[in-house]
Amino acid sequence: MTTKTHMAAPKHTLSKLLAAALTLALGSLLAGCGGGGGGSASGPTIDPAQLKGRWVTAAGVAPATTAVVVPDANGAANAWLLAQDASRLVKLVVRSDSSANGKTYALGQGNATGQAVTGQVTTALAASPKTIAFTGLNTGTLTQSDALSTPAVQANVAGNWSATSGGNAQTTQWSLTAAGGLTGSSTTGCTYVGSVAALAGTAAYGVGFSESCADGSKTTFSGIGTLNAAKSGLTVVVTSADESRGAAVFLAK
């Protein structure tokens, strides 16, 4: 995922500042899927683990989008699609019947909640390069740019990280230990406690933390993180425990 040194939205907490819901009508997102109603779409049987990797949209698709797909422990896979302009985040659960269901979030619109997406994944994994596509997301065909097969190294994320937002007026700082412990704070009075742990056999990190803010609010987030090639930028995408909120955090050392 493209790494920037600012957060995705201008408010003061991850839950109120970075997390936002998509306000577009689901009918436009789910074109070709029978609108916003109905149950899960299904298709050919697939092995979701075979979708692991980083996938990118073709040139000319707007907004350009990067997807990171990571298998889970239940035989499915989690697909995180982030617009490279940080305007939209989508989290999908891809299952063996080709269904791809989840939530979509319009980052930067701080008072809304995530909206449900019901769709299907189509794959061309025997092609070179491999491609996948998700119905209804207007991203077109995505091409695999990285299989994410090189295991993440825990030591690579240890250290001090920061992200800025609101025209550099607000700063969030995280400190990650060699063992993956996370502590941090923001200039708006929020604190963070959690972990960033290397995922086995995958070039990605599992991220989980609680955010506690001065107004008494407390929100738990979980998701994944990926490093840039220089290992100086860490992109984190997360959703709240109830998946009502989504966020993207762009951290730099």
pLDDT tens figures, 32-55: 333 333 345 568 999 999 999 999
The answer as to whether 54 is a domain residue is yes
The answer as to whether 11 is a domain residue is no
Domain boundary among 103, 122, 146: 146
The answer as to whether 116 is a domain residue is yes
Task: Give the max Cα distance, the chain.
Answer: 52
Whole-angstrom distance, CA of residue 86 vs CA of residue 96 = 29
189 Cβ contact partners less than 8 Å away, ≥ 6 residues apart: 12, 213, 214
The answer as to whether 3 is a domain residue is no
The answer as to whether 212 is a domain residue is yes
Q: Examine the domain organization and report whether 53 and 70 are in the same domain.
A: yes
For residue 184, the domain's CATH number is: 2.40.128
The answer as to whether 12 is a domain residue is no
- The pLDDT tens digits of the residues spanning 92-128 come to 999 999 999 999 999 876 556 799 999 999 999 999 9
Q: Examine the domain organization and report whether 126 and 156 are in the same domain.
A: no
Which domain range does residue 138 map to?
20-146
Would you say residue 66 has pLDDT above 50? Answer: yes
Average pLDDT, the chain: 84
Q: Is 73 left (phi over 0), alpha (psi -120 to 50) or beta?
A: alpha
How many domains are contained in the chain? 2
Domain boundary among 87, 118, 146: 146
The number of C-alpha atoms within 13 Å of 24 and in the hemisphere containing its C-beta is: 18
Q: Examine the domain organization and report whether 160 and 236 are in the same domain.
A: yes
Q: Examine the domain organization and report whether 134 and 163 are in the same domain.
A: no
Q: Examine the domain organization and report whether 188 and 110 are in the same domain.
A: no
**Spatial CA neighbour of 3 closest among 192, 246, 230, 182:** 230
The predicted model scores a pTM of: 0.83
Q: Give the residue-averaged pLDDT of 132-136.
A: 93
Helices (H), strands (E): how many in the chain? 1, 16
Q: Examine the domain organization and report whether 51 and 89 are in the same domain.
A: yes
Q: Quick one: what percent of the chain has pLDDT higher than 90?
A: 73
Domain boundary among 146, 176, 211: 146
Q: Examine the domain organization and report whether 109 and 172 are in the same domain.
A: no
Q: Examine the domain organization and report whether 24 and 136 are in the same domain.
A: yes
Q: Give the residue-averaged pLDDT of 15-26.
A: 33
Q: Examine the domain organization and report whether 25 and 134 are in the same domain.
A: yes
Q: Examine the domain organization and report whether 57 and 159 are in the same domain.
A: no
Residue 111 CB neighbours (<10 A): 9
The answer as to whether 48 is a domain residue is yes
* pLDDT for res 52: 98
Q: Examine the domain organization and report whether 41 and 65 are in the same domain.
A: yes
- The pLDDT tens digits of the residues spanning 204-242 come to 999 999 999 999 999 999 999 999 999 999 999 999 999
The answer as to whether 5 is a domain residue is no
